[in-house]
A = this chain, B = another copy of it.
Amino acid sequence: MTTSFEPTVDVNRNILEMEYAVRGPIPQRAAELQEQGRSVIFCNIGNPQALSQPPMTYYRQVLSLVEDPSKIQRERQLKDVFEENPLSSLREEDFIPDDVLDVSANIIHMMKTGMGAYTESKGVRFIREAVARFIDRRDDVERIGGVKSVPEKIFMTSGASEGVRFVVDLLIANENDGIMIPIPQYPLYSASIKRAGGVQVNYYPDESNDWAFNREMLQDALTEAKKVGVNVNGIVVINPGNPTGALQSRQSIDEVIQFAEENQLVIIADEVYQENIYAGEFISFAKALGDQKVPLFSLHSISKGYYGECGHRGGYLEVRNPPKVRGSEFDFMDLLLKQASVNLCSNTAGQVLTYLMVSPPAEGSQSYAKFVEEKHQTLSDLCEKAAMIREAFKQMDGVECFGKTGAMYLFPRLNKLPEGTTDFDYCMALLEETGLCTVNGSGFGQRDGTHHLRIAFLPSKSLLEEVLPRWIAFHNRYVRG
């Protein structure tokens, strides 16, 4: 029976109006070009393994074994057989190191119900314990004192995005509730606030001062928001920055903490690029906070760093000083747990990779040297590639790039775009002409009258050597009309 039924529905306006530029028109055009056989270099997204950054051998060896634990025992058998009969084309390095076998067996043992069972909604207990130890080690808590991380306040999440959703959805209680976000920002934040029906309150890090924060700029944003009746209850900080790539100083971080304290705000600290540091030191908000009582939600992920396991969707949310809930006997942590429960749990492969991220092979173990070598190779490659692109900027008319390089991005300012053109036009033309896919600055937000783009410094050096001269030529032609 065919009918003429043509149903029409009203839909949630927040989702209708939500924007998400990183997967917007420019990448879509890039995909079209690629389908037509054009060679496209995808620098629009921090997706390292899609641009041939290899995964860490150690991580994948372990993950492979925990997915099929029968192979642990078989590998031990194989090794015995080959020790007795070395006559074959196989060499010692074709076998899986003993420490990998031991670590894999231990993970299976500690997980109790294996990879195929739902875990606790917060995530597997021993993995959360390992995360807590990692945080304390990273922040040097033993030596300098400070507050220890506890597994009860850690949630394993599907990438960092899920943790952001849990927190933002809870913090937006009314439609005039707002959260401060840096401009430019990673569109996950504007989208999450919009979806939750809240107000995005922009603050403007100081570009020419390496995108630093100070209380004055933060206070300005808050004052403006209050004037129009917005009730601000939190502030997002991304360090190292996305899209700016900028690594923040201790002073910058302290300014945010003091501002949050004075204004009773919670801090959402996106620190997923904490291992993408090429010079200088990463200082976590947890470390800078010490025993101050400002609520802090810190996010980390397996998608970035030197591992780049984006596809596996793993990460964690760590909570410090959970705020009291007004007019309710519920604890904030209980509410986060309830949200996590509706999803049942985050995926086990992502949880195991997070465990490996926070538990690298021990110094002296069989896997150690190779692990350190691979890590060093990936990070030094990234560092060199960022430097190559920065060099190219010097040959482009009116391009300035601020910030101490971190993360996987550069966010150059385009000072000399022809009258009437936008950075969107520029990026689209750059794509059409050179195959280089970047994201226009307006996709992240920027000060009125300025133009930028974000480029992920992920393509291979040889690819960069080939495309950068063409970009320089394109640029100078474009801006000089």
Tell me the A residues contacting B by CB distance below 8 Å.
1-13, 15-16, 18, 20, 22-23, 45, 47-50, 55, 60-61, 63-65, 67-68, 71, 74, 77-78, 81, 85, 87-90, 94, 113-119, 121, 158-159, 161-162, 169-174, 177, 188, 191-192, 195-196, 233, 261, 264-266, 290-295, 303, 308-313, 321, 323-328, 330, 332, 335, 338-339, 341-350
Contact = CB atoms under 8 A, between A and B. Distances in A.
A234 to B, nearest CB: 8
How many copies of this chain does the complex contain? 2
A15 B324 contact: no
A115 B342 contact: no
Contact of A114 (B7, B55, B114, B172): B55
A324 B10 contact: no
Contact of A161 (B49, B192, B343): B343
Contacts of A115: 55, 311-312
Nearest to A311: B348
Contacts of A67: 60, 63-64, 67, 349
Nearest to A328: B16
Contacts of A20: 338, 341-342
Given A5-B293, A55-B114, A88-B81, A195 B342 contact: yes
Contact of A116 (B55, B174, B293, B347): B55
Contacts of A61: 68
Given A85-B88, A348-B312, A349-B349, A5 B170 contact: no
Contacts of A177: 10
A9 B191 contact: no
Give 10 closest A-B pairs by Cβ, nearest first. A64-B68, A49-B116, A10-B173, A50-B117, A311-B348, A313-B347, A349-B349, A50-B113, A8-B324, A49-B117
Given A116-B308, A326-B10, A349-B347, A18 B77 contact: no
Contact of A12 (B50, B68, B170, B293): B170
